[in-house]
């Protein structure tokens, strides 16, 4: 097990290194300069600016400086956002994003598991149909449409929640619901399939033959065994939450890294784009690693095959 974890961590570091390299050179490929008003600047001003951002050195030196700095948690200086260090920007903004992501993950997965389990136990009844319908809607309707819908109806028309604000818990409810729809739908679908499989297995028949009640069968045997594969969903769901956070944070004006990422894209703030990309990749890689390790502990058969991530 220790060897397996070590191997996975090594792969993870290699992956992160490759991502950093690719991102760096992609950014270097970009035409134009980061300065908006270069035409108006004199040659010496441009030179000064280049020196300040380290752009006067050869590309390979910039690359080494970048990689070396990143290992030490230094992601460079933002071109926008009043020349603050990128790592500082991310550190101040990651809190709201994490809070929303974790809230959405908890709400989505718990409701999804419940919904999926009910659909499986009451297979082919109205409850199943309703759950399947909800899951299809949750999977299909884009999260920004959900977000706007919630904002319009619950925020603007009924005035139950703040429309776009970030201070207390109640302001995080609408974005959490909007973000949680997709995890909810995915978990419910996955859970339903798994649970139906488990309910048809021999050991459930044995449990029933022993005279266990329906609740006992479901609680002690079916639910636990169907939950194991659901863990693998964590990777794809994490990706989904990151994607979702970019629009949802924008719609609800939440000062998170998703909002910042979008802003830095529209203003060509390359150091920030690179920094946030690295943070997103790091989070994803860590989630996948944790899922793989957890899964290896729970189910030794899986220990050597990789996990699937697609969103």
Which residues in this chain contact another protein in the complex, by CB under 8 A? 11-12, 14-15, 18-19, 23, 26, 29-30, 120, 123, 136-137, 139-142, 144-145, 148-149, 152, 156, 192-193, 196, 239, 242-243, 246-247, 250-251, 261-262, 265-266, 268, 273, 277, 280-281, 284-285, 288, 306, 308-311
Minimum Å distance from CB 16 to another protein?
A: 8
What residue ranges in 170-264 does DSSP mark as E strands?
Answer: none
**Between 47 and 303, whose beta carbon lies closer to another protein?**
303
**Between 15 and 62, whose beta carbon lies closer to another protein?**
15
173/274 Cα distance (integer angstroms)? 30
204/225 Cα distance (integer angstroms)? 10
Minimum Å distance from CB 31 to another protein?
A: 9
Minimum Å distance from CB 56 to another protein?
A: 23
**Between 11 and 219, whose beta carbon lies closer to another protein?**
11
**Between 48 and 262, whose beta carbon lies closer to another protein?**
262
Minimum Å distance from CB 280 to another protein?
A: 5
How buried is residue 187: exposed, middle or buried, by Cβ count under 10 Å (0-12/13-18/19+)? buried
**Between 22 and 48, whose beta carbon lies closer to another protein?**
22
Asked if 181 contacts 143 with a C-beta cutoff of 8 angstroms, the reply is yes
**Between 15 and 41, whose beta carbon lies closer to another protein?**
15
Minimum Å distance from CB 247 to another protein?
A: 6
Minimum Å distance from CB 202 to another protein?
A: 18
215/222 Cα distance (integer angstroms)? 10
86-121 vs 173-199: helix crossing angle, rounded to 10? 40
Asked if 253 contacts 166 with a C-beta cutoff of 8 angstroms, the reply is yes
**Between 82 and 310, whose beta carbon lies closer to another protein?**
310
Asked if 65 contacts 76 with a C-beta cutoff of 8 angstroms, the reply is no
∠ CA 305-235-114, nearest 5°, is 110
189/149 Cα distance (integer angstroms)? 23
Minimum Å distance from CB 120 to another protein?
A: 8
Name the residue among 42, 30, 19, 16 with its Cα closest to residue 79: 30
């Amino acid at each position: 097990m220790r060897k397996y974890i070590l191997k996975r961590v090594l792969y993870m570091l290699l992956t992160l290194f490759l991502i950093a390299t690719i991102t760096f050179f992609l950014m270097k490929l970009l035409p134009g300069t980061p300065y908006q008003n270069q035409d108006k600047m004199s040659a010496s001003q441009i030179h000064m600016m280049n020196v300040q951002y380290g752009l006067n050195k050869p590309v390979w030196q910039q690359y080494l400086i970048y990689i070396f700095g990143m290992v030490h948690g230094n992601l460079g200086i933002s071109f926008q956002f009043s020349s603050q260090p990128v790592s500082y920007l991310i550190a101040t903004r990651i809190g709201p994003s994490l809070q929303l992501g974790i809230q959405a993950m908890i709400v989505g997965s718990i409701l999804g598991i419940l919904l999926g389990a009910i659909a499986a136990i009451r297979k082919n009844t109205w409850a199943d149909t309703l759950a399947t319908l909800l899951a299809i809607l949750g999977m299909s309707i884009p999260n920004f449409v959900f977000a706007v819908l919630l904002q319009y109806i619950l925020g603007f028309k009924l005035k139950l929640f703040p429309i776009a604000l970030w201070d207390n818990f109640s302001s995080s409810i609408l974005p959490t619901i909007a973000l949680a729809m997709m995890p909810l739908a995915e978990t419910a679908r996955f859970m339903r399939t798994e649970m139906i499989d488990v309910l048809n297995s021999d050991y459930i028949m044995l449990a029933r033959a022993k005279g266990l009640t329906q609740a006992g069968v479901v609680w002690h045997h079916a639910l636990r065994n169907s939950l194991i594969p659901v863990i693998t969903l964590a990777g794809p769901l994490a990706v989904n939450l990151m994607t979702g956070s970019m629009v949802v944070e924008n719609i609800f004006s939440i000062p998170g890294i998703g909002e910042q990422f979008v802003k830095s894209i529209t203003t060509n703030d390359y150091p920030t784009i690179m920094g946030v990309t690295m943070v997103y990749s790091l989070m994803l890689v860590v989630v996948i690693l944790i899922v793989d390790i957890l899964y290896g502990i729970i189910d030794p058969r899986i220990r050597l095959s990789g996990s699937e991530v697609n969103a």
